[in-house]
Structure 1
């Protein structure tokens, strides 16, 4: 992460977005020995290794992430696997150029088998952060398919919509362009490029154990508020995408569509959000 951030900083980036679970890893193709009604001891051992690789916030790893932002005077959005007590969360951190943790968002709805290894987020970690660059908000992977969560980000005035993901399908690109057009915001989606050789050799991976097997093929993209692809998508290799964002495009887009404003019809529709921790 430090090397990639330095690369982006050399290209004059002010905001760098990393993929979902970039720190701690996305265990693609690993089932942790789970079947309906049973779990294996081998799977429990896999989870123990995954648990040990997660980070605590606060903690020494978090301090190191903050130092990367400080070293380059840059805003960072990064997906991490967070350990809190005995539970893991798929989390996105927003870190300021002074090292301050500006936001911590826990994925609200893990998808499919993710629910076995990650806990559920709640309404207390869904803030959009105001910065000199713009209002930074984050939706992790298939949270981007949750219309009411998107609406909550729009209602907070998000202009830099960050979408860390592992969804490398072509269909994902249609969703990212739709969100940019719907929210009239810049969308920065970061997706990993992951090969089998990047995971421990002794794991049995469903997609195959040939070291050159592509597990996650990338597809990072940067899109303007009018749906124009400014950079990417790029598949099949590691890369750093860079684009210059023209903030004037935000007002240009809101001219005829503001879903949280003049196009929202609050006399007909109302969004209710529980901003608490889920407990009464």
Structure 2
């Protein structure tokens, strides 16, 4: 029997220059707007709260120290006020929410994806395993503990951020866990049209290869925001284009019209019968796999900086309190 879940990919602009909660409030309003349209799963852009560090793409590292520190001050503690707000909105609307945030864990920032169930419970907090290029000056590295699929009210969900989709083994790790919906997040308003073109190829290919739906959300910057971030007309160009908010079926088909400019949401009904239809022909982690020839080793142990030895010689990993609270 078929099961249908209505999903929305949100293209939206952040709130800049406030205490960091303005963007979170905008997220909660978008969740409620989507709920009025019957949506049960909503996906927001990469590190959307409080905002993606666009400054790091257009400035050399020695110049953006002040802006980096501002991001620290506005970053999200998990759990904390932002996650409480979003959890309440998810619970009130019965919505599964996938949100990208800049997470602060004491002295380090991380590119983090949070999956909230329809009850408001945090099902997964995962960190981007390798920040890309300029991002390495902003965020720390994640670990394999977050490369997992979770059972939610909307189905089996996996998530990756941006160029993690160019790591085939990271994608395969999720595929082996039989994800039904893959939630992809990109910053948007970056690089130009070529970024949007590459994004389309990437998410459509993953849908075909995994035999799952892909819900992809990108951010959006207004012209005023571009001017405020760039501070120099010569630096504004790299902050335009690169938006491709879309939903893809397991057959690689775009469901609805992708959003490449402005704010809005792409909504589609995900018919899970299409997953079986696709995998009957090609199941890359089942009857189409050759595990005796090719296999993947995944280390899912959380990265820890210290291991304490107990009184009787037993060892146990010890991490930060923020990690423990959301693990």
**Alignment TM-score > 0.5, same fold:** yes
CA–CA separation in structure 1 for the residues paired with 2:150 and 2:101 = 18
Q: Which moved more, 1:193-202 or 1:227-236?
A: 193-202
Distance apart, 1:204 and its partner CA: 2.9
CA–CA separation in structure 1 for the residues paired with 2:228 and 2:244 = 25
Match of 2:47 among 21, 28, 33: 21
CA–CA separation in structure 2 for the residues paired with 1:197 and 1:49 = 19
CA–CA separation in structure 2 for the residues paired with 1:196 and 1:50 = 21
Distance apart, 1:157 and its partner CA: 0.8
Which TM-score applies when normalising by structure 1?
0.91
Q: Quick one: structure 1 residues 8 and 265, their matched pair in 2 at CA, closer, same or farther if it must change by over 3 Å?
A: same
CA–CA separation in structure 1 for the residues paired with 2:234 and 2:46 = 20
Match of 1:164 among 169, 178, 185: 185
Match of 1:131 among 128, 145, 152: 152
On the 8 A contact 1:178/1:227 being kept in 2, the answer is yes
Aligned residue for 2:253? 228
CA–CA separation in structure 1 for the residues paired with 2:270 and 2:153 = 13
| Correspondence 1:143 to 2:195 | no
Gaps of 5+ in 1: none
Distance apart, 1:125 and its partner CA: 1.5
CA–CA separation in structure 2 for the residues paired with 1:12 and 1:86 = 40
Gaps of 5+ in 2: 1-26, 189-194, 308-327
Q: Can you list the C-alpha shifts for 1:67-117, whole angstroms capped at 9, x where unaligned?
A: 111121100001110000110001110001111000011001110010000
Which TM-score applies when normalising by structure 2?
0.78
Match of 2:224 among 191, 197, 212: 197
Paired residues for 1:79-158 under 5 Å: 79-158=100-179
On the 8 A contact 1:33/1:44 being kept in 2, the answer is no
Q: Which moved more, 1:225-234 or 1:80-89?
A: 225-234
Aligned residue for 1:248? 273
CA–CA separation in structure 1 for the residues paired with 2:184 and 2:273 = 22
| Correspondence 1:271 to 2:296 | yes
On the 8 A contact 1:195/1:215 being kept in 2, the answer is no
| SS at structure 2 position matched to 1:5 | helix
CA–CA separation in structure 2 for the residues paired with 1:177 and 1:49 = 36
Aligned residues: 273
